RNA sequence: GGCGCGGUAGCUCAGCUGGUUAGAGCGUAGGAUUCAUAAUCCUAAGGUCGGGAGUUCAAGCCUCCCCCGCGCUACCA
C-alpha cells in the first residue's frame, strides 16, 4: 500500500444534526488525521477530505421541532463542525458539505451514469402517503405503536424505546407527523441497486483482494472485525437496495429521468459521493486535477470510520463505484469500534458524552491532552473506555512526567551549561546508553538506534496501529530520560565536560526527533517544541524523510552552535478539581436527561372506551405452576397457569426479566379470553398482565394477598 | 437462537504464520539520583492466558463443547 503514488483518505461525514463528541474523534477522525499527517511528513501525495452530511428526514424533523429551516440547522452544525475539527487539530485538506451545488451536481451525474448503464432496477412498492400534506412520508415522519414493545411513539424505522428496527408498515395505528392524519399506502416507484448481483464479486474482492484478475488489496491487512462483519452480511445474502426515496430535503433525482418528480437520492448515493465532490472542490481551489485521486490504480483509497459504517463502505459504496466502472475501490477500511464513557455507552439522546466543543472551552489549551488519551485508548480492535480519572493519570504520568519533563530538563541544562547553544563535541568521546547498557557507546552508532525506532514507528502507522505508534513515541522520550540518568551530566560537568558535551548534544537530537514525530499525534505540543528548539514548523512536507536520512547516516539533526530558546512546560498537571468538575457535569446531565426522559415517556392516554368495551375483557386471577424457557428464543417463557377451573399454556415475552424458577408459584393476573395465538409453534392462550416503567422494567400485577385462582377482576 | 468481534498480571492493554522460564504502561514495594512540573532511573513482587476436552514432540495462539461482554439479527400477540 505504501508503494502507491498517491493517497486518497476520507473520514466519515458527520451528520449535521448534533455536535461532535469524543467517540467520533476516537472512532474515525483522529486515526485518519495521524495517518494523513504521517504520510505528508513522509513526503507522500495525499488528500484528506471530509464534510457535513446535510440531507435526510432527521434534519427536517429537527428543524421543525426547533422552529428553524433545514438550511439554518445545517448551517449551524456545518460551522460548528468546522470550528471543532480545526480547534482539535484535524488537518482536513477540505471540509466540504453535501448541500453545495457542486455536490448536488456530482451526485446527480453519478446517478445518471448508473441509470444510463442500466444498473438500476425500477421497482414499485407501497409507501405511506399523507393525503393532507400531499406527499409520501419518510420513515421518520411516521409514528405509531411499536408492535414489539407497545411504545406508542415509535418511528417508522426504529422504536427508540426497545431499539427494534422497524418498517413503517409494522407500526400499529400509524400517524403522519406532518398533519397528524392517518397515512394511506400508495404505490410509488424507486430505483434499486441490485446488490444481490454484486454478491459474488464483492465476496471475492473482500476476501482475496482480487477483482477481475487484478490484485487490489491484501485482506490480511484488514481488521478482523471488518472482514467479519462483511462476511456476516455476504453470507446472509445481499438484497437490492433502494437508491432513491420520497423525501423533500436532499439531492433531486435528475429531472430528465421519467418519474423523477419528488424523488431524492437516498443516503447511499448521497453521502459517500460527498467524498468525491469534496475532492473536486479541493482540486478547483488548488488548481489541481481531482480525477487521479479517484480513478488511477496508483492511488490508495482509504476510508476511516466507526464500525456502524462498515457495511456501507465495504459493500454498498464499492458496489456503486464498481457499477460506475471508472472508479477505484478502497485498499483498506480501517474501521474502529466504539468508545464508551465512564462505564456507559456514549449517547447523544441521553446526553452521555464529552462534547468536543465544550471540552475545548472548559479545558483551553489542552487539545493534545485529549488527543493523547483518545489515541492511547483508541478502540482499534474492540470497544474501549474513556474515564476522566484515566485522563488525569495519563496526562500527569506520561505527558507531564515523562515527555514534558524530559524536554524541560534538556533545555534547562543546555541553557545552564552552554548559554542555550548546542554544544560541539568529540566523536571519539564515549557515553552510556540504554540501547546497550553493558558497554560504552558513541554518538554516530547510537543515533542509529533512533533511526530504528522511527522505522518501527512508520511500520505501526502504516498498519493502522496507532496505539502502538503512540507508545513508541513515548519510548523515545523514555530513551532520552535514560540517557540523562545513566550519564548524570549534573555530576560530571565539572570533571568531564567533554563527555557531558556528547551526552547533551545527543539529548538535544532526541528532543528534535520528538518535536518532529509528535506532530501527527500532538500537533500543538509539537509546535511548541519546534519553537523552543528554533526549528522550522511550516507545512508537513517530507520532514520525516529528512531526519530519518540524517539519522541513518549517523548525523545530527540540530547542528552544533544552533541557538535554542528558554525552557517551557509543554504540559501541566490535571488537578483533582478539574476531574471532579467534569465527572459532576456528566452525572448532572445524566440525571437531568433521565428526568426529561421519564416525563417524556408517560404514554398518552388511549381514546375513551365504553363500559361495555371493558366488560368484554375477562380478567382472572391465576397462579404460575410451571415455567420454562422456550428453546431457541431469547425472550420467551412458556408458562403453565392455574386458573382454578383449568390450567393453560401462556407464552410470555419476559425471559429477559425473570428466570423460570423464580416465578413458579407466583400469583398473576391473566387476560383470559384473548384469542389464542401461536408463538414459535406453541399456542398461547391468554396474556399475563404486567406493569412497565420508563426504563422497561417489568412487574407482575397481582392481588396483594394470597387469593384463589380463577376469580374475576372487574 | 443464528452470525461477527472480544474475554491475557489489581487497572488499561501487547502477544506475528503454534516453538525455550507469557510481555508493556499505570499502580504497589525496595533502592539510586537531584538538572527537571515531589519529576527521572534501576530492581522486585504479581498471571490456572474465561472454563473443559482434543489435535500435536510442542497451544494464549489450531479443533470441539460450555460460560461471559459488545454489535447485528430472529422470537417477545
pLDDT-derived band at A403 (thresholds 50, 70, 90) equals: very high
Let me know whether A591 and A485 are in one domain: yes
Let me know whether A316 and A403 are in one domain: no
Let me know whether A265 and A364 are in one domain: no
| Residue-wise pLDDT tens digits, A110-163 | 999 999 999 999 988 888 888 877 777 777 778 777 666 566 677 776 665 555
Final residue before a domain boundary, out of A574, A604, A634: A604
CA of A628 and C1' of B1: distance in angstroms? 15
Q: Is residue A705 part of a domain?
A: no
Domain CATH number, residue A34: 3.40.50.620
Q: What are phi and psi of A301, to 5 degrees?
A: -95, 125
Cell numbers that stand for A703 in this block: 392481588
Residue in A571, A119, A48, A629 with CA at minimum distance from that of residue A323: A119
Cell numbers that stand for A246 in this block: 420520497
Q: Is residue A192 part of a domain?
A: no
Residue A674 sits in which domain range?
A: 611-700
- Going A308 to A309 to A312 to A313, the CA torsion angle's sign is negative
- Give the number of other CB atoms < 10 A from CB of residue A604: 6
Contacts of A431 (CB under 8 A, 6+ apart): A440, A441, A442, A483, A486, A487, A499, A502, A503, A506
Let me know whether A574 and A670 are in one domain: no
- Going A571 to A577 to A579 to A585, the CA torsion angle's sign is negative
Final residue before a domain boundary, out of A312, A336, A360: A336
CA separation, residue A680 to residues A427, A632, A651, A652 (Å): 82, 9, 10, 12
Let me know whether A391 and A428 are in one domain: yes
Q: Is residue A534 part of a domain?
A: yes
Pairing of strands A184-193, A121-130: antiparallel
From CA A68, how far away is CA A71, in angstroms rounded? 8
For residue A610, how many C-alpha atoms fall within 13 Å in the half-sphere facing its CB? 3
CA separation, residue A220 to residues A207, A208, A230, A712 (Å): 9, 9, 14, 67
From CA A468, how far away is CA A465, in angstroms rounded? 6
Let me know whether A534 and A621 are in one domain: no
- Across the range A232-249, mean pLDDT stands at 85
pLDDT-derived band at A593 (thresholds 50, 70, 90) equals: low
Give the DSSP letter of residue A699. E
Count of the separate structural domains present in chain A: 3
Q: Is residue A171 part of a domain?
A: no
How much is the mean pLDDT over chain A? 88
Let me know whether A310 and A350 are in one domain: no
pLDDT-derived band at A548 (thresholds 50, 70, 90) equals: very high
Nucleotide closest in space to A569 (CA vs C1'): B37
Whether the beta carbon of A687 falls within 7 A of nucleic chain B: the reply is yes
- Based on DSSP, count helices (H) and strands (E) in chain A, helices before strands: 24, 30
From CA A220, how far away is CA A172, in angstroms rounded? 47
**Ranges assigned E (strand) in A29-141:** 45-52, 94-97, 121-130, 135-136
pLDDT at A607: 66
Protein residue nearest nucleotide B76, by CA to C1': A653
Instruction: Indicate if the pLDDT at residue A604 is higher than 60.
Output: no
CA of A266 and C1' of B48: distance in angstroms? 55
Q: Is residue A140 part of a domain?
A: no
Final residue before a domain boundary, out of A294, A319, A336: A336
CA of A204 and C1' of B22: distance in angstroms? 37
Q: Which helix (H) or strand (E) holds A241?
A: strand A241-242
- Across the range A238-257, mean pLDDT stands at 90
- Reported residue count of chain A is 714
Nucleotide closest in space to A489 (CA vs C1'): B35
Nucleotide closest in space to A377 (CA vs C1'): B12
| Residue-wise pLDDT tens digits, A330-346 | 999 998 888 888 877 88
Q: Is residue A425 part of a domain?
A: yes
pLDDT at A565: 96
pLDDT-derived band at A693 (thresholds 50, 70, 90) equals: low
Whether the beta carbon of A634 falls within 7 A of nucleic chain B: the reply is yes
- Across the range A82-94, mean pLDDT stands at 96
CA of A335 and C1' of B56: distance in angstroms? 36
Burial of A665 (0-12, 13-18, 19+ CB in 10 A): exposed
Q: What are phi and psi of A618, to 5 degrees?
A: -105, 105
Nucleotide closest in space to A340 (CA vs C1'): B70
Phi-psi label, residue A696: left if phi above 0, alpha if psi -120 to 50, beta otherwise: left
Instruction: Indicate if the pLDDT at residue A166 is higher than 90.
Output: no
Let me know whether A570 and A667 are in one domain: no
Domain CATH number, residue A627: 2.40.50.140
CA of A661 and C1' of B57: distance in angstroms? 50
Q: Is residue A549 part of a domain?
A: yes
- Across the range A682-692, mean pLDDT stands at 84
Nucleotide closest in space to A650 (CA vs C1'): B77
Q: Which nucleotides of strand B lie within 7 A of protein CB?
A: 1, 3-6, 12-15, 24-27, 32-37, 39-42, 69-77
From CA A17, how far away is CA A53, in angstroms rounded? 9
pLDDT-derived band at A233 (thresholds 50, 70, 90) equals: confident
Cell numbers that stand for A449 in this block: 538506534
- Are the C-beta atoms of A596 and A632 separated by less than 8 Å? no
pLDDT-derived band at A601 (thresholds 50, 70, 90) equals: very low
Whether the beta carbon of A566 falls within 7 A of nucleic chain B: the reply is no
| Residue-wise pLDDT tens digits, A55-69 | 988 888 888 888 999
CA of A654 and C1' of B26: distance in angstroms? 43
Phi-psi label, residue A420: left if phi above 0, alpha if psi -120 to 50, beta otherwise: left
Contacts of A283 (CB under 8 A, 6+ apart): A289, A290, A293
Nucleotide closest in space to A481 (CA vs C1'): B40
Using the CB atoms, write b or e for A251-282: b if 16+ within 10 Å.
bbbbeebeebebbbbbbbbbbbbbbbbbbbbb
Q: Is residue A252 part of a domain?
A: no
Cell numbers that stand for A448 in this block: 542509529
Domain CATH number, residue A349: 1.10.730.10
Let me know whether A450 and A524 are in one domain: yes
User: What residue has cell string 471488518?
Assistant: A226
3-state secondary structure of A297: coil
Instruction: Indicate if the pLDDT at residue A443 is higher than 70.
Output: yes
A630 or A419, higher pLDDT: A419
Let me know whether A375 and A454 are in one domain: yes
As for the ipTM of the complex, it is 0.88
From CA A149, how far away is CA A603, in angstroms rounded? 12
Percentage of residues of chain A with pLDDT beyond 90: 51
Let me know whether A470 and A371 are in one domain: yes
pLDDT at A600: 47
pLDDT at A602: 54
From CA A321, how far away is CA A301, in angstroms rounded? 12
A657 or A525, higher pLDDT: A525
Strand B neighbours among A 228-287, CB < 7 A: 228-229, 231-232, 235
CA of A5 and C1' of B9: distance in angstroms? 45
* pTM greater than 0.90: no
- Are the C-beta atoms of A256 and A75 separated by less than 8 Å? no
CA separation, residue A681 to residues A328, A629, A630, A632, A684 (Å): 50, 14, 10, 12, 9
Strand B neighbours among A 462-501, CB < 7 A: 465, 467-468, 471, 478, 481-482, 484-486, 488, 490-491
Pairing of strands A6-11, A45-52: parallel
- Give the number of other CB atoms < 10 A from CB of residue A581: 14
From CA A540, how far away is CA A39, in angstroms rounded? 9
Any alpha helices (H) in A419-563, and if so which ranges?
443-462, 466-487, 489-492, 497-517, 523-533, 543-552
Nucleotide closest in space to A482 (CA vs C1'): B41
Protein residue nearest nucleotide B38, by CA to C1': A401
pLDDT at A91: 96
Whether the beta carbon of A651 falls within 7 A of nucleic chain B: the reply is yes
pLDDT-derived band at A588 (thresholds 50, 70, 90) equals: confident
User: What residue has cell string 495521524?
Assistant: A34
pLDDT at A597: 47
- Are the C-beta atoms of A181 and A129 separated by less than 8 Å? no
Instruction: Indicate if the pLDDT at residue A592 is higher than 70.
Output: no
Strand B neighbours among A 141-160, CB < 7 A: 147-149
From CA A53, how far away is CA A95, in angstroms rounded? 11
User: What residue has cell string 476476501?
Assistant: A207
Maximum pairwise Cα distance, chain A? 106
Give the DSSP letter of residue A268. G
From CA A84, how far away is CA A372, in angstroms rounded? 17
Distance of CA A659 to the CA centre of its chain: 36
| Residue-wise pLDDT tens digits, A284-338 | 999 999 999 999 999 999 999 988 888 889 999 999 999 999 999 999 999 888 8
Protein residue nearest nucleotide B17, by CA to C1': A220
Let me know whether A493 and A551 are in one domain: yes
CA of A220 and C1' of B56: distance in angstroms? 26
Amino acid at each position: 500500500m505504501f508503494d502507491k503514488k498517491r493517497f486518497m483518505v476520507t473520514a466519515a461525514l458527520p451528520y449535521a444534526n448534533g455536535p461532535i463528541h469524543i467517540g467520533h474523534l476516537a472512532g474515525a477522525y483522529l486515526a485518519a488525521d495521524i495517518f494523513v499527517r504521517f504520510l505528508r511528513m513522509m513526503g507522500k501525495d495525499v488528500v484528506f477530505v471530509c464534510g457535513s452530511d446535510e440531507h435526510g428526514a432527521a434534519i427536517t424533523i429537527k428543524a421543525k421541532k426547533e422552529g428553524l429551516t433545514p438550511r439554518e440547522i445545517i448551517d449551524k452544525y456545518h460551522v460548528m463542525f468546522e470550528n471543532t475539527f480545526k480547534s482539535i487539530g484535524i488537518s482536513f485538506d477540505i471540509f466540504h458539505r453535501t448541500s453545495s451545488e457542486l455536490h448536488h451536481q456530482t451526485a446527480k451525474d453519478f446517478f445518471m451514469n448508473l441509470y444510463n448503464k442500466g444498473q438500476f432496477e425500477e421497482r414499485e412498492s407501497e409507501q405511506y402517503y399523507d393525503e393532507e400534506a400531499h406527499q409520501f412520508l419518510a420513515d421518520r415522519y411516521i409514528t405509531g405503536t411499536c408492535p414489539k414493545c407497545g411504545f406508542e411513539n415509535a418511528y417508522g424505522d426504529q422504536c427508540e424505546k426497545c431499539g427494534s428496527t422497524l418498517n413503517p408498515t409494522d407500526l400499529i395505528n400509524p400517524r403522519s407527523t406532518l398533519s397528524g392524519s392517518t397515512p394511506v399506502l400508495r404505490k410509488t416507484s424507486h430505483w434499486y441497486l441490485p446488490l444481490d448481483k454484486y454478491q459474488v464479486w464483492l465476496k471475492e474482492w473482500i476476501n482475496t483482494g482480487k477483482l477481475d484478475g487484478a490484485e487490489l488489496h491484501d485482506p490480511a491487512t484488514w481488521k478482523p472485525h471488518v472482514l467479519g462483519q462483511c462476511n456476516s452480511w455476504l453470507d446472509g445474502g445481499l438484497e437490492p437496495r433502494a437508491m432513491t426515496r420520497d423525501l423533500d430535503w436532499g439531492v433531486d433525482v435528475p429531472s430528465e429521468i421519467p418519474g423523477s418528480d419528488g424523488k431524492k437520492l437516498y443516503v447511499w448515493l448521497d453521502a459517500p459521493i460527498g467524498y468525491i465532490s469534496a475532492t473536486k472542490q479541493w482540486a478547483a481551489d488548488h488548481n489541481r486535477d481531482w480525477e487521479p485521486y479517484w480513478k488511477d490504480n496508483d492511488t490508495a483509497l482509504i476510508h476511516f470510520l466507526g464500525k456502524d459504517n462498515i457495511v456501507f463502505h465495504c459493500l454498498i459504496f464499492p458496489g456503486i463505484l464498481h457499477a460506475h466502472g471508472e472508479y477505484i475501490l478502497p485498499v483498506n477500511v480501517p474501521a474502529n469500534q466504539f468508545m464508551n464513557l465512564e462505564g456507559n455507552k456514549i449517547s447523544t439522546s441521553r446526553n452521555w458524552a464529552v462534547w468536543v466543543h465544550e471540552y475545548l472551552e472548559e479545558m483551553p489549551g489542552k487539545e493534545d491532552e485529549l488527543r493523547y488519551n483518545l489515541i492511547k485508548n483508541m478502540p482499534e480492535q474492540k470497544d474501549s473506555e474513556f474515564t476522566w480519572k484515566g485522563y488525569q493519570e495519563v496526562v500527569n504520568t506520561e505527558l507531564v512526567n515523562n515527555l514534558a519533563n524530559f524536554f524541560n530538563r534538556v533545555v534547562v541544562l543546555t541553557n545552564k551549561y552552554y548559554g542555550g547553544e548546542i554544544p560541539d563535541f568529540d566523536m571519539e568521546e564515549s557515553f552510556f546508553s540504554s540501547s546497550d547498557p553493558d558497554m560504552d557507546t558513541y554518538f554516530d552508532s547510537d543515533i542509529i538506534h533512533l533511526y530504528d525506532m522511527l522505522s518501527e514507528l512508520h511500520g505501526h502507522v502504516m498498519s493502522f496501529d496507532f496505539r502502538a505508534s503512540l507508545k513508541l513515541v513515548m519510548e523515545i522520550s523514555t530513551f532520552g530520560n535514560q540517557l540523562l540518568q545513566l550519564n548524570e551530566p549534573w555530576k560530571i560537568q565539572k570533571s568531564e565536560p567533554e563527555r557531558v558535551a556528547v551526552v547533551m548534544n545527543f539529548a538535544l537530537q532526541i528532543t528534535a526527533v520528538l518535536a518532529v514525530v509528535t506532530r501527527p499525534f500532538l500537533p500543538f505540543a509539537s509546535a511548541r517544541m519546534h519553537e523552543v528548539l528554533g526549528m522550522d514548523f511550516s507545512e508537513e512536507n517530507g520532514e520525516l524523510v529528512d531526519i530519518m536520512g540524517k539519522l541513518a547516516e549517523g548525523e545530527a539533526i540540530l547542528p552544533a552552535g544552533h541557538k535554542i530558546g528558554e525552557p517551557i512546560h509543554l504540559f501541566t498537571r490535571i488537578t483533582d478539581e478539574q476531574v471532579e468538575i467534569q465527572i459532576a457535569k456528566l452525572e448532572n446531565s445524566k440525571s437531568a436527561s433521565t428526568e426529561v426522559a421519564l416525563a417524556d415517556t408517560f404514554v398518552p392516554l388511549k381514546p375513551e372506551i365504553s363500559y361495555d368495551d371493558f366488560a368484554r375483557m375477562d380478567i382472572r386471577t391465576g397462579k404460575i405452576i410451571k415455567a420454562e424457557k422456550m428453546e431457541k428464543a431469547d425472550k420467551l417463557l412458556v408458562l403453565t397457569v392455574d386458573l382454578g377451573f383449568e390450567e393453560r399454556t401462556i407464552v410470555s415475552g419476559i425471559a429477559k426479566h425473570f428466570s423460570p424458577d423464580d416465578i413458579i408459584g407466583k400469583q398473576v393476573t391473566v387476560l383470559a379470553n384473548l384469542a389464542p395465538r401461536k408463538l414459535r409453534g406453541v399456542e398461547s392462550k391468554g396474556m399475563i398482565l404486567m406493569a412497565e416503567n420508563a426504563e422497561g422494567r417489568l412487574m407482575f400485577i397481582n392481588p396483594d394477598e394470597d387469593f384463589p385462582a380463577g376469580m374475576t377482576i372487574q
